Structure 1
Amino acid sequence: MNVSIRIKNATLDDMQWVNNTYSSIGFTHSDFSNEFIVIAETDQQKCGVGRLVFINNIHKELGGIFVAKKYRGLGIAKKIVLRLLQEKSKGQKIWCLPFKHLFPFYKQCNFILYDHKTQRDVPQSILDKHQWCNKTYDQKVLILVQE
């Protein structure tokens, strides 16, 4: 399938679609006032979404990456992640909590596995969410960081 993919910044008008999409897959709703959200489109159809949650001036969390089943395998998730990573400023850290089987994908995007022995500055909100994810989901969830 040869398709043209466009990654656009979400607007307030897009939030109903964003949160309906997240509801359909069991993800937490987005908060437009505290997140940078992008939407993937092809043929003027929304087909994917992702977000950066602002934790503080130093830390952001990348998450909510989703591509509709019909459009998977076209590189859309990587385009979403790379667009979100463009929002990183010098000195900031981007955290990510993916399922373990997704580690190779995030490694391609320059994320590394968080090492609790050498890295001490992980935000408490990330540690709490990681613990919740591993209690809630059947699949193991990792903590990754891009510095």
Structure 2
Amino acid sequence: MDINITIRKAHDEEIHWVNEQYQRVGFKLSSFETDLVAIALIDGQKVGLGRIQKITDYDAELGGIYVSSDFRGVGIAAKLVTFLVENTAQYRQVYCLPFEHLAAFYEKFGFEPVSDNMSEVPDLVLSKHHWCNEIYDQTTLLFVKHNTDFIKRSAS
């Protein structure tokens, strides 16, 4: 069975739907002022979403990846992450706070554990990481992806 998955940027009028999904699963809500939200569709039906949140002028966080339980296992999360990562060229680093069992999934996209230099991690990311580990039953990791395109652009 060939499934046609479309990923697109959320429209302003969809913020209510976006935050309804996040509220349902206990994620922090989104704002289009700071977030690029992507929506996954199958045959026009909204089946998932994810976001890039601006943290500083140089740092962002990938998060809020959620796929409706009826549509899991067909590659929607991977397409959402790919779309979002492709839209981070303006950031030096992109942080991610995945649940521990999803570590290998995010490593496929170039994310790696933050093991040292915690002082370089923005306070907002550190506090959210702490919050996640207090709120969720599952361990939340702290990952980062260094944007080599950004580094090359700034050096030239």
TM-score, normalisation: structure 1: 0.95
- SS of the aligned residue for 2:81 comes to helix
Instruction: Give the 4+ runs in structure 1 shifted more than 4 A.
Output: none
Work out whether 1:76 is the aligned partner of 2:69: no
Instruction: Give the drift of 1:120.
Output: 3.6
Q: What's the Cα RMSD here?
A: 1.2
TM-score, normalisation: structure 2: 0.89
User: Which residue of 1 is the match for residue 106 of structure 2?
Assistant: 106
Contact preservation (8 Å) 2:112, 2:145: yes
User: Which residue of 2 is the match for residue 36 of structure 1?
Assistant: 36
User: Which residue of 2 is the match for residue 131 of structure 1?
Assistant: 130
Query: Which segments of 5 or more consecutive residues in structure 2 lack a partner in the other structure?
Result: 147-156
Contact preservation (8 Å) 2:113, 2:143: yes
- SS of the aligned residue for 1:46 comes to strand
Count of aligned positions: 146
Cα distance in structure 2, aligned partners of 1:23 and 1:136: 14
Query: Which segments of 5 or more consecutive residues in structure 1 lack a partner in the other structure?
Result: none
Cα distance in structure 1, aligned partners of 2:131 and 2:17: 26
Cα distance in structure 1, aligned partners of 2:132 and 2:31: 20
Instruction: Give the drift of 1:129.
Output: 0.9
Cα distance in structure 1, aligned partners of 2:97 and 2:138: 12
- SS of the aligned residue for 1:50 comes to strand
- SS of the aligned residue for 2:33 comes to helix
User: Which residue of 2 is the match for residue 61 of structure 1?
Assistant: 61
